Structure 1
Amino acid sequence: MGKSQKKRSMRRHNPMRVPDSHLAKGLASASASSSKGEAILPIIQKLDSVDTADRKWACVAVSNLIHNDPSTRRLLQSKNIVGALITRLSDSEEEVVVEAAGSLRNLCIDGGFDICAEMFNKNILAPLKTFIPKISSTLSQYLASPKNAPENAQKLVYEFADNVITILWCLSETSNKALNAINQISLVPFLMSFLASRGQLPISTTTSAAQCLYVLTDENPSIINEVRTNAEYTTCLLGVVRSEDTAPKSNGKEKDNSDPRASAFRVLCCGILRNVSPIPPPSIAATVDLDRDVIIPNLEPVLTSIDLQEASQAAHHALENQEPIPQVENLSPKNAPKSDHKTPSELELERLETRLRTVQLALEILTGMCATLPDPEIFNGAGNDEEGLQDGNQDDEGMDDAQDIDMDESTSTPAAPPPAFFTTLVTSLLKLIQPTPLSLPPVEAPSPHPPTTSVLGAIHVSALECLNNIFLSMATSLSGRPSGLAAENGSAVFDAVWSALGAVGTDISGPGQERRRDVWETGVGVLWGVGNVWKGALAPTAEQVQVLIQYCNASTDIGVRVKAIGTLECLAQHPQSIEANKTISSFLLSLLPPSATPPTATEPLLQAASALIDIYSDETLPYDTNFRQGHYLDALVRSTEGIRRAVRGIDRKKERELRVRGEEVRDNLVAFIQYRRGLRL
Structure 2
Amino acid sequence: MGKSQKKRQMRRHNPMRVPDSHLPKGLEAAASSSSRKDAILPILQKMESVDPAERKWACVAVSNLIQNDPSTRRLLQGKNVVGALINRLSDSEEEVVVEATGSLRNLCIDGGFDICAEMYNKNILTPLKSFIPKISTTLSQYLENPKTAPENAQKHVYEFADNVITILWCLSETSNKAMNAINQVSLVPFLMSFLASRNKLPISTVTAAAQCLYVLTDENPPAIEEVRSNAPYSACILSMVQSREGVIGAKGKHKDVADDRSLTLQVLCCGILRNISPIPPPSMAATVDVDRDIVMPTLEPVLSLIELPKASQLAQEQIAKEDAIPALEKLSLKHTPKSDHKTPSELELERLEHKLRTVQLALEILTGVCATLPDPDFDVRNADGEAAEGEEEEANEDMDDEPDVDMALDDESGARPRRESNTTFFQTLVAPLLALVQPTPLSFPPLDGPSPHPPTTSALSAIHVSALECLNNIFLSLRGAKVDALRTDAASGRSVWDTVWRALSAVGTDVSKPGQERRRATWEIGVGVLWGVAEVWKGLLVPDEAHVKVLIELCNAATDEGVKVKCVGTLECLAQHPDSVDANRAIATYLLSLLPPSPAMPTPREPLLQAVSALVDIYSDETLPYDTNFRQGRFLDALVASVEGVRKAVRGIDRKKERELRVRGEEVRDNLVAFIEYRRSLGV
Is the TM value for this pair above 0.5? yes
Contact kept? 2:3, 2:472, Cα under 8 Å: yes
- Find out whether 1:587 has 2:565 as its counterpart: no
SS in 2 for 1:536: coil
CA shift, 1:662, in A, is 0.5
Give the counterpart letter for 2:431 in structure 1: T
1:523 pairs, out of 522, 526, 530, with: 526
TM-score w.r.t. structure 2 length?
A: 0.91
Contact kept? 1:292, 1:379, Cα under 8 Å: no
Give the counterpart letter for 2:103 in structure 1: S
Residue matched to 1:632: 635
Q: 1:174 to 1:324 in 2, by over 3 A?
A: farther
Contact kept? 2:191, 2:213, Cα under 8 Å: yes
Q: 1:549 to 1:288 in 2, by over 3 A?
A: same
For structure 2, the residue ranges without an aligned partner over 5 or more in a row are: 248-254, 386-421
RMSD: 1.9
> Residue by residue, what CA displacement relative to the aligned partner does 1:472-494 show, whole Å, maximum 9, x if unpaired?
112123x4444575111111111
Task: Name the % identity.
Answer: 73
Contact kept? 2:245, 2:263, Cα under 8 Å: no
For the residues of structure 2 that align with 1:159 and 1:179, how far apart are their CA atoms? 24
Contact kept? 1:21, 1:512, Cα under 8 Å: yes
> Residue by residue, what CA displacement relative to the aligned partner does 1:207-245 show, whole Å, maximum 9, x if unpaired?
111000000100001100000111101110011000033
Give the counterpart letter for 1:433 in structure 2: V
Contact kept? 2:18, 2:70, Cα under 8 Å: no
- Find out whether 1:465 has 2:469 as its counterpart: yes
Residue matched to 2:571: 568
CA shift, 1:291, in A, is 1.1
1:430 pairs, out of 427, 434, 437, with: 434
SS in 1 for 2:337: coil
1:508 pairs, out of 507, 511, 522, with: 511
Q: 1:8 to 1:198 in 2, by over 3 A?
A: same
CA shift, 1:91, in A, is 0.4
For the residues of structure 2 that align with 1:181 and 1:624, how far apart are their CA atoms? 61
For the residues of structure 2 that align with 1:50 and 1:315, how far apart are their CA atoms? 42
- Find out whether 1:339 has 2:339 as its counterpart: yes
Q: 1:441 to 1:498 in 2, by over 3 A?
A: same
Residue matched to 1:662: 665
SS in 1 for 2:28: helix
2:619 pairs, out of 616, 619, 623, with: 616
Contact kept? 2:54, 2:333, Cα under 8 Å: yes
Q: 1:562 to 1:378 in 2, by over 3 A?
A: closer
- Find out whether 1:487 has 2:486 as its counterpart: no
Contact kept? 1:17, 1:454, Cα under 8 Å: yes
SS in 1 for 2:236: helix
Residue matched to 1:83: 83
Residue matched to 1:546: 549
For the residues of structure 1 that align with 2:379 and 2:57, how far apart are their CA atoms? 53
For the residues of structure 1 that align with 2:20 and 2:634, how far apart are their CA atoms? 51
Q: 1:485 to 1:220 in 2, by over 3 A?
A: farther
Q: 1:564 to 1:380 in 2, by over 3 A?
A: closer
CA shift, 1:123, in A, is 0.3
Contact kept? 1:227, 1:233, Cα under 8 Å: yes
2:674 pairs, out of 648, 659, 671, with: 671
Give the counterpart letter for 1:497 in structure 2: V
For the residues of structure 2 that align with 1:78 and 1:326, how far apart are their CA atoms? 30
Residue matched to 1:42: 42
Give the counterpart letter for 1:672 in structure 2: F
Q: 1:629 to 1:471 in 2, by over 3 A?
A: same
- Find out whether 1:456 has 2:464 as its counterpart: no
Contact kept? 2:85, 2:100, Cα under 8 Å: yes
Contact kept? 1:11, 1:361, Cα under 8 Å: no
For the residues of structure 2 that align with 1:328 and 1:65, how far apart are their CA atoms? 12
1:186-225 matched pairs, under 5 angstroms: 186-225=186-225
1:165-180 matched pairs, under 5 angstroms: 165-180=165-180
For the residues of structure 2 that align with 1:326 and 1:82, how far apart are their CA atoms? 30
CA shift, 1:557, in A, is 1.1
CA shift, 1:22, in A, is 1.1
CA shift, 1:74, in A, is 1.0
Give the counterpart letter for 1:35 in structure 2: S
Give the counterpart letter for 1:356 in structure 2: L
Residue matched to 1:402: none
Moved more, 332-341 or 301-310: 332-341
Q: 1:378 to 1:153 in 2, by over 3 A?
A: farther
Contact kept? 2:210, 2:265, Cα under 8 Å: yes
1:444 pairs, out of 435, 440, 448, with: 448
For the residues of structure 2 that align with 1:227 and 1:459, how far apart are their CA atoms? 29
Give the counterpart letter for 1:449 in structure 2: H
CA shift, 1:117, in A, is 0.5
2:649 pairs, out of 642, 646, 649, with: 646
Moved more, 324-333 or 587-596: 324-333
Q: 1:231 to 1:660 in 2, by over 3 A?
A: same
Q: 1:585 to 1:421 in 2, by over 3 A?
A: same
Give the counterpart letter for 1:555 in structure 2: A
Q: 1:485 to 1:67 in 2, by over 3 A?
A: farther
For the residues of structure 1 that align with 2:651 and 2:568, how far apart are their CA atoms? 22
SS in 2 for 1:162: helix
Residue matched to 1:240: 240
For the residues of structure 2 that align with 1:45 and 1:429, how far apart are their CA atoms? 50
TM-score w.r.t. structure 1 length?
A: 0.91
> Residue by residue, what CA displacement relative to the aligned partner does 1:77-130 show, whole Å, maximum 9, x if unpaired?
111110010000000000000000000001111111111100000000000000
For the residues of structure 2 that align with 1:240 and 1:364, how far apart are their CA atoms? 20
Contact kept? 1:419, 1:484, Cα under 8 Å: no
1:2-151 matched pairs, under 5 angstroms: 2-151=2-151
Give the counterpart letter for 1:569 in structure 2: E
